[in-house]
Structures are given as structure tokens and as C-alpha cells.
Structure 1
């Protein structure tokens, strides 16, 4: 009964989205507050209906209702409760329902909390958001129904991929989709502004908080995915340039460009057309990610294996949404006001250069992701594009972007003082270069490029701190004055500084971990040892343990330093899941402040003298924790900025003393 209620609610949500589109569009065209209000009501009701359908799907997973095809294919009675719930979005059908839930949720939020938007723009934006809801809900109802019943009910389900049964990955899709689909609001606002012909500073103020929220949530989602790959897949890394990883990275890059471009449009009225273009592109890349993951054109642990027919439908949907947006942009672009003028040396110019580099980097990632697919479709030849390509093309672009980033916030709007900025930054540059040289001299083996990466990370971190010190006039004014300025500084400024500092922290971690990781692999019998850098690892025991839905072979690895002091006792596992007959590795990680000792237990094999042996792979991952701390700081910075009422609502603060 609950499943049927959910199925009915899903169809009802489709009808309500149709009503939302029609009522909001007509209400906006006729300037009718009654029709526009009815459209807002339909938006809220559509979200409630999708929430009921989603709750029904979760209920089916919790009670192991195998008459539902989605549950039978992705759950099992022996699966822990957390993963039963997460199984609701661990499949193609369930993940699309989650997508629809987030999409209608954003529409309901715009309807309920968008009072600061002009009524007509709000109505048109809700009409566009409703039209997107119609597209995706129709797909869910007619081509990918998550609540479809089976005629023959199996006794047991097939369970969820064991690799996906992980707490971080349980939280990963909700955050990722909240970021992906958050750009739908930016898309809707952009299309509504183009319909009205008013892409201006006021519009940018309304776009900015939605962009900030989507970008921050997407940052958390990508970081959770990277962290899961790091400790769950057992290969010791955190980023592989997997096409599905790239699918989430591209909207993040475009979102970062949009966030900065919207600031220029808001503050100076400049670049309105470019900002609108990026707003359309951000959600287009999000839809491209949905297509790549679900079309069956990619083979990845992250991808959903589905039939090509549904992939074609997704491609058509992406073409309709993106095509409509860019067609209207092409029509309206010649009439858009170019906005304020600015000099070559100015904050606007720094942001423009930032946008050019980020957009070019996105194009490089897009080329590297799609080229193998295009090549295979054209001549049937399978080619791969991996880390070497991206290291040679993407990395130099980002190095240049990071090199100029600290200068932007210190430049004045419209006309900047290059010499003044150089006088402020030279100490940061000297300290960063010195620290890079010290790393080159004392860290073995010596690696010039990695040491340069460390210098770049210190440059970003120092630049962010200097910018905040400049705002507060630290050491240039009495302490009481600096405290007063700190209290009066808007939270948006604190958030931006924290986000830029987080980027520097990430660059430090990525540079150090990638260059100076130590790896060792050896087949060990009981009480055999191997050396890993400054550590000695000894396999002291092997035993069998039983989990809730798996059997595991657990090793005990004693790790000591060269002086014989015990560092930790690692317990890696090899798990066998009877349902699905899959074997996975469970990594053991020993944290060491910023570093990790990372141990993986491999398959059993014959050792010396016929004794059983197990392949033990181990890594020292130096500064790896900074890789995950940096993006977390960036997301927190976004949240702090969003808590600023001026950013969140696009309105001024209450009268208070201005901090220049």
C-alpha cells in the first residue's frame, strides 16, 4: 500500500510540475499575482509529493520489500540498516528520484523564500524550474520508475555493490546532487532574466547566493567521494581522473568561475552576458554528468550500468534544456548592456583572467573525458586519456590561476595599483619561495616541481592571510582599531578568505603527497617483515572474522620505526560477500598527524618453502590529511559567506560603521 501511495505521489508530482510551469509562466506574462501565487503553491506541493514518493522508496528498502524491482536488485535482508537506506539512492532509478527530490526542493525553496526577487522574475524562474521538473519527473515515471513492481517476487535480493556499502559514500550522493541540482536555480534565474531582458547587477545579487550554496555543497560531495576512493578502493590514491570524477569536477570549475563573475556583475554591473552564459553552462555540465554516469557509455565503479535507450533519453533531455537556454542567450546577447568600464590593472581584470583560465581548464577536462568516447564512436578504436594528459594540460592552467589569485582581492575596483599590490605581496612571495627552497633542500629525494608546488601552496595561504590582515590593518593601526574592524567586517569577507586559504592548504597536501609518497609491496608469511621508508612492517597474525553480511580474512600488521618503537597495529581485511560473490579489500589506516600509514591485505599465495603468504601493500602518504582539510575549509568558507545576510538575501546590512 505504501509503495502504491509513493507511485501515485510520483505521478502527482509530475502533474503539479506541469501546473507550476503553466501557472507561473502565465502569471509572469500577465503580471497576475494570483496565478503566480498558484504557481508557487504548485512548486511546494510538487516537492511534498516527490518527498512522499522518496519516503515510500526508503520504506521499501527498510522492510526489504523485494516485490519492488529496485529493492530486489539493490538490497538484501542481511545488509546493515544504514546501507539499506543508502540503497535507495545507490541505483540508477533511486538516484534519479533523489535528483528529482532535490530539483523540486530547490523550486519549493525559491517559491517559499524568494520574496526579495522581483515578482515577474520569480514567476518566470519558477516556470523554468517547473519545466526542468517536468523533464526529469517524466523520465522517472515513464522510463526509470523506482517503485515498479515485480510479477515474480524473489526470496532474497541481489544486494548493493559492496564497494558502495560505506558511510562516506552513503552521504556522498545527497551532497553531490544538492550541488549538481543547485545550479538548476541559477539556470532558471538566468533564463528568466533573459526572457525579461534584464541581466543586471540586481540579478547577479540574486544569482550569487544560489551559486554559493550549490558550489559549497558540490565541494563537500566531491571531497566525500575522493575520501571514499582513498580508503575504500585500496589503491592508495584519492583522484584518478576517472571520467565520472571529471563529470562532477567540471560543474565545480564552472561554478567557481560563475561565483567570481557574479561578484563583478553585482559590484560593477560589468560582464552580465558572460555571467549569464556561465549560469547556463554550470547546469549544462551538471546534466552532462548525469548523462555520462547513467548512459552506459562509461565503465566505472561510480557509474550506473543501464541500457543505452535510457541514455539516449537523458541526452535528449540535456539537449532540450541546454539548447533552449543557449538559443535564448544567443538571441538576447546582442542587446545586453556591457556594463561598467575598467582598466587592465583592476580587480575586474583579475577576475576576468581567473574566469578565462577556469573555463579553459574546464574545456581541457571535457576534451580529455569525451575524446575516448568520440574516438571509439568514429573508428571503433579504444583509447584512454589518463593522468599524463591532464598533468600536461590542466595543471599549468591551474598553476597560472593560483599564481594570480592572491593579487585580485588586493586590487581596487575599476582601477588598481599594481605597484601597491606588489609592495604588499613581496614578503609573502619571498617567504613562499624560501619555504619551497627549504623543502627542495631537506626533503629527499629532491624534486623541483613538487617543491614549486609547495611554494605555490604557501603563496596562496599567505596571500589569503595577508588580504585579511590588510582589511584589519594589522600592525598598521592600534590593536583596538583592528579588533573594531574585525567585528565590523562582513561574514562574506571572512568566508572568501577561508575559502582561498583552504585552496592553499589543498595545494600543499596534493603537492607533498603526490611527490613524496612511499610505496612497498611484498608477499609475507606469518612473522615476515618488509621495509616501508622509515618503518618496518611485520605480519603477525591472520584470522577469520564474520561481519553482518560478509566473511573476512583479517591480518594483523605490526608497524615499528627504525628504533623499534611501536607506531601502530594495523588490521587490514579481505572481505567476501556471499550475496553477489564479490571480494573487496578493507584498508587499515594509521594516522600520523598530517600523514597516513596505509596498509592493504592482498590475496593468499604460495610463499617460500610452500608456506602460505599474503601480498601486503603499504604506503606512507605524507600530508594527505591536508588534501581533505583544504576542501572542507573551502566549503565552510562558502557556508560562512552564505550566512551573511547581504549575500544570502541580496539586501543591505543595517546601518553600521563602514569598514573600508
Structure 2
């Protein structure tokens, strides 16, 4: 029997979604009318409209969440993706466990980004805020309309709802699903802010240093969420899928990597625009590309054209709708760029040997990498669409493309950290970087010899690159601080954030190199009482048994793992059968430390109580994700730079910069 709140929650959520659509429509029109007519009172409506839209979108999301918690199976989406036996935490995460709910989460986050811009950009000129929020309102109109028309999560099953739900996909009943999609979506959607700032600056003809300074913290924030979201997805795939993989160049994984690569290029380009007033048009183009790739990822995941453990298969109508949104956003923004970009060309000079050149090289490598991923992801779809057969582009192709690009990128990271603005001397640079280069080469060659007494050129290359990035970055800090630790904090939190992020890149490169070349695995048949020696560890099969979970039953095995005579862990991998769907899932058990992972997972039951077991040892596995944490921490440090929080007359400073730029152009 439904209570009154449960009965009205879906209708309330639907109404809130429609009201948010109405406010988004006003938000996309009224502030621009105010800008055109130079009516500040109309421009001032941008902030309250953005606030109201965010409130109604959050209310709609809360209404759907409540329907999940109280098992309201009269809502079709709840009935398909939940069950009375599902733990409450997973009932909440089931809200975004399938297409309709994940899209509602998407638009709610879009509203929250608009709310943040409205209330944390008080020092910006009202005209700029009006344009930015109007553009974000247009994006909201498209996605909320998409949700209401093709992906409504509040559709009812009446008058006879099912007594039990269909259950959440067991693959998604995990802590990783609780945190991974919201974090990744915050990054995806956050790129809309960089996109909106770029278009607003184009519309106003004000691509100056002030615009770059306004846009940069928002871009960094989106990049941080995207970095963490990708890392969380990799971590989830590693331990949940049961085979110990952490990155497979899956098309949906690629859909998140492409905007990250372009957003990384955008961050570096914004730094040049802010510091030197260069790369203005290029920076705008990168902002358009980053958000466009975010929308392309949405199309790939939600159109049904991909088959992936991450994808939400959908009907063609949804794919056509998202493709239309993509066409309007990309086509409209590129048209505006074509009309306006020539009028705001950069003025300034720099030599081939300079920080500007290194950052430009960084940008080009990142963009080529994104294009390579895009080609490898879309090529099979295009071939299939043209009726030329079915092909697949595997990890070998992507790895072949990425290794030379990673070499170039690592070179530019080390070079850029030590280079000077405008002009530098090859002699000075070679002198400054020689110590880091020699150290990285020595350690790169020493690693495979120490590890296995055999030369492995892939390890030499990967370790040299990773150590080069770390050594060059730390050496730059040492030189700038003149070898005095007390001077390091005075170098500035933004600069130190850059160094920490670059060190994170080096850490991840080292982790990937070691995991890819020195991971070992063994499949064995084992029964209770038996043991196996593998990779220097002894695995003793103690016993097997049965476990009853809240919505599953499990066959589990207990292993004692020894390093020599020392017991390092008691591990209990499981084979779970989920009650509602009858799906069987492998739950691996992993013993971790900073230097290696010991990974045990169950295969199939064999005769006489024996099981097929998979044993794996993965050196430096944690470094892959530790590097992502360092990158995100570096981004957060850069955001905390006080120049982004100063209460000052930014409009006056912007006019001053614009005036200087105009004088340079006339000269």
C-alpha cells in the first residue's frame, strides 16, 4: 500500500523536470536580450533563472531517488532496475544505473554547474555572466527536452505494477558504481562551462587574458572530475570484472578519454593565453572540441551503436535526438568561431625554443592522440554502417599509436617545465636538463636488469619517460627555490600544482610500464588442502564454503597467501549467484601494497571439490591510479591560486587588457 508521499513523488519529479525546462528556456533567451538591448535588469535574470533551474532539477532527481528507496515499482524505470532485496546503497546508485536515470543525473549536474557559475562569478562583468549562463541554458534545454521526450524516468506501470523489481545489473552492484558515474559526469558536464565561456568571449569579441583567467578555474575543475572519473572507472573494471584488467580500449572507455585529452590541451593553452595573450583562437577551438567530444561520448553510449559493459543500449530515436543535439552544438559553435575568430587574432612573438613552443607541441600531441582514439573507435562503426563487414580495432593498434605519442608528450612535459617564456637558449636548456636526462636513462636501463636480469626495451623506454618527467619537474623546483626547502612555498601554489600534476603523469607512466611488462598469471586446479607456488608466493587452499548475501548466494574459497614463511593475507574470492536474475558474478580478492597486487579469482567448479583458480601478481599496479590522484591534486592546487579569488574590479582590468591588445594590433 502506497503512502501519500510515495504516490505523488513521480508526478512531483515529472513536474519539477518540466518547470526546469521552462526556466532553462527563459535562461537561454532573456539574458541575451538584455545584452543586446543593454538592459542590466534583464541580464540580472540570468542568475535567479539558473538557480531555479538547478533547484527543480535536483528536486526531480531526489524524487526519483525516493521512488527507488521505497520500492515504488509502479515507476517503470524503478521496476526494471531495482528489487526489494537490493541493499539501500545500491537502490540509490541504481538511480543512475541505466539510461533514463543516468540522463537525469546528467541534466541535474548541468544545472549544478550553472548554479555554481551564477554564484561563484560575482566579480565577473554582468554581460559576460549573462552570455555564459544563456549558453548553458541552451544546452540544458536540449538535454532536458531529450529526457522528457525520449527518456522519461517517471513513466508509470499502472494499474498493475509488479510485486518485485527486475533488479539492478549485478555487475553494477558495487561501490565503484556509486562513485564512478557521478564523478565522470561532473567532468563531462563541467566542460560545458569552458565551452560557454569560450562562446561568450567570442560573442563579445573579448578573447583577452581576463577571459582566460575567468575560464581557467572552471576548466581545471571539470578536468579534475574527469581525471578522477576515468581513474575510478579503471579501478572498478580492474577488480569487478574478475579478470584483472584495468584498461582495454573499450569504446566507452575511449569516449571518456577523448575529451580528457583535449581538455588537458585546453588547460595548457589557457595558460599561454592568460600569461602571454597568445593562442586565443586555438584555445577557443579546443574548448569547442572538448565539449563536442563529451557530447559525442554521450551519443556513442546512449544511441545503441556500441556494445560494452558500460553502454546503455537504446532505441534509434534516442540516438537521432542526441546526434541532432551534437550537430546543433558543434555546427553552431563552429559557425560562430568562423565568423568571430579572425577579428580576435593573437598578437605577440615567440621563438621556436621557448615555453610557448613547448606548450604548442604539447597541444598538438594531445590533439593527435585524441584523433587517433576517435579514429580507432569510430572506424569499425563506419565500416559496419557502410555494409563493408564487421571489424574490430584492438588494444594492439591503440598501443602502437600511443607509444610514439607518449614519447613526444613526455619530452614536451620536461622541456616545458624548464623553458622560459618568449625565447630560450638551446645551450641553457641542455645544461639545465642534462642531469634529469642522464638520471632517467640510467634508471631506465637499470630497471629491467634489476628486475629480471634481462634487457627489455619496452621497460627501458617506459621507465626512462616516467623518470624523465618526474626528474625534470622536481629539478625545476630545486632550481627555482635555489635548493632551499623554505623557498618552495613561495614559488606559488599554481606553479607547484603544475609540478605535482606532471609528477602524477610520470608516476602513471611508470605504473603502466611495470604492469604491462611484468604482470604474471597462472590458472591452476586446486582443492582444499592443496597449495601452489607462484611468483615467489605460496597459495594454500584452506577451505570452501557457502555464503548467503542480502540478494545473492555465494560459493567462496579461503586462501592463505605466504611470502616465504610469512602469512601476508587470508583471501576469500567468491562466485556469486544473484537471486533475481540468476546471474553469476566473479568477486576477486586482492592483496595490495604500493609495490604489487596479488590477485586471486575463482573460475569454474571441477571434480572432487576442486576449483579452477586464477592467480595473478601485478607489480606497481597502484601507481597507475596514484598518478591520477597526483594529477587531480595538482589541478586542485592550481584552482586554489589566490588570483582566481581576488575581489576586484575585473571589468576594469579586462578593459585595460583589451586596450593594450588594441594598441598592439594598431602598432
Report the TM-score when normalising by structure 1: 0.95
Give the corresponding residue for 2:639.
642
CA deviations over 1:529-552 (Å, ceiling 9, x no partner):
333211222322110001111100
Partner SS for 2:614: strand
Give the corresponding residue for 2:113.
106
Q: Is the 8 A contact 1:28 1:121 kept in 2?
A: no
CA distance in 1, matches of 2:170, 2:72: 20
Give the corresponding residue for 2:438.
430
CA distance in 1, matches of 2:437, 2:129: 46
2:136 equivalent to 1:134: no
CA distance in 2, matches of 1:647, 1:223: 27
2:446 equivalent to 1:449: no
CA distance in 2, matches of 1:577, 1:179: 32
Partner SS for 2:274: helix
Q: Is the 8 A contact 2:417 2:472 kept in 1?
A: no
2:363 equivalent to 1:355: yes
Q: Is the 8 A contact 1:271 1:339 kept in 2?
A: no
CA distance in 2, matches of 1:573, 1:651: 59
CA distance in 1, matches of 2:60, 2:177: 22
Identify the match of residue 200 of structure 2 among 179, 192, 197: 192
RMSD: 1.5
Give the corresponding residue for 1:215.
223
Identify the match of residue 323 of structure 1 among 318, 331, 335: 331
CA deviations over 1:274-309 (Å, ceiling 9, x no partner):
000000111101111111111111111100121121
CA distance in 1, matches of 2:217, 2:424: 27
Superposition pairs of residues 499-518 of structure 1, within 5 angstroms: 499-518=501-520
Identify the match of residue 475 of structure 2 among 466, 479, 484: 466
2:160 equivalent to 1:183: no
Identify the match of residue 88 of structure 1 among 91, 95, 117: 95
1:300–1:124 Cα change, 3 Å = same
Q: Is the 8 A contact 1:102 1:178 kept in 2?
A: yes
CA distance in 2, matches of 1:133, 1:588: 42
1:622–1:21 Cα change, 3 Å = same
Give the corresponding residue for 2:285.
277
CA deviations over 1:240-282 (Å, ceiling 9, x no partner):
1000000000010000000000011111111100000000111
Superposition pairs of residues 15-26 of structure 1, within 5 angstroms: 15-26=22-33
Partner SS for 1:11: helix
Q: CA deviation at 1:79?
A: 0.8
CA distance in 2, matches of 1:63, 1:380: 50
Identify the match of residue 163 of structure 2 among 139, 155, 180: 155
Q: Is the 8 A contact 2:546 2:554 kept in 1?
A: yes
Q: Is the 8 A contact 2:44 2:126 kept in 1?
A: no
Partner SS for 2:521: strand
Give the corresponding residue for 1:656.
none
Q: Is the 8 A contact 1:520 1:531 kept in 2?
A: no
2:633 equivalent to 1:631: no
CA deviations over 1:458-511 (Å, ceiling 9, x no partner):
11111111121122111xxxx4xx52x334332111111110111111111110
Superposition pairs of residues 167-566 of structure 1, within 5 angstroms: 167-444=175-452, 445-474=454-483, 479=484, 483=486, 485-561=487-563, 563-566=564-567
Partner SS for 2:412: helix
CA distance in 2, matches of 1:28, 1:62: 45
CA distance in 1, matches of 2:594, 2:496: 27
2:617 equivalent to 1:620: yes
CA distance in 1, matches of 2:194, 2:415: 28
Q: Which runs of 5 or more residues in structure 1 are unaligned?
A: 654-660
Partner SS for 1:301: coil
Give the corresponding residue for 2:59.
52
Q: Is the 8 A contact 1:183 1:283 kept in 2?
A: yes
2:588 equivalent to 1:587: yes
Q: CA deviation at 1:527?
A: 2.3
CA distance in 2, matches of 1:335, 1:532: 66
Alignment length (residue pairs): 641
Give the corresponding residue for 1:145.
152
CA deviations over 1:108-152 (Å, ceiling 9, x no partner):
211222123222222111111100010001111111111121123
Q: Which moved more, 1:587-596 or 1:56-65?
A: 587-596
1:640–1:222 Cα change, 3 Å = same
Partner SS for 1:150: coil
Runs of 4+ in 1 over 4 A off after TM superposition: 648-653
1:651–1:466 Cα change, 3 Å = farther
Give the corresponding residue for 1:3.
10
Q: Is the 8 A contact 1:193 1:199 kept in 2?
A: yes
Q: CA deviation at 1:417?
A: 2.3
Report the TM-score when normalising by structure 2: 0.94
Give the corresponding residue for 1:657.
none
CA distance in 2, matches of 1:323, 1:620: 49
CA deviations over 1:402-461 (Å, ceiling 9, x no partner):
122111121111111222222122111111111111112222253111122112111111
CA distance in 2, matches of 1:316, 1:125: 22
CA distance in 1, matches of 2:533, 2:336: 63
Q: Which runs of 5 or more residues in structure 2 are unaligned?
A: 1-7, 651-667
Q: CA deviation at 1:649?
A: 6.1
Partner SS for 1:492: helix
Q: Is the 8 A contact 1:254 1:362 kept in 2?
A: yes
Q: Is the 8 A contact 2:593 2:622 kept in 1?
A: no
1:601–1:645 Cα change, 3 Å = same
CA distance in 1, matches of 2:491, 2:215: 22
Q: CA deviation at 1:346?
A: 0.6
Give the corresponding residue for 1:658.
none
Partner SS for 1:379: coil
Partner SS for 1:304: coil
CA distance in 1, matches of 2:529, 2:594: 28
Partner SS for 1:443: helix
CA distance in 2, matches of 1:528, 1:306: 48
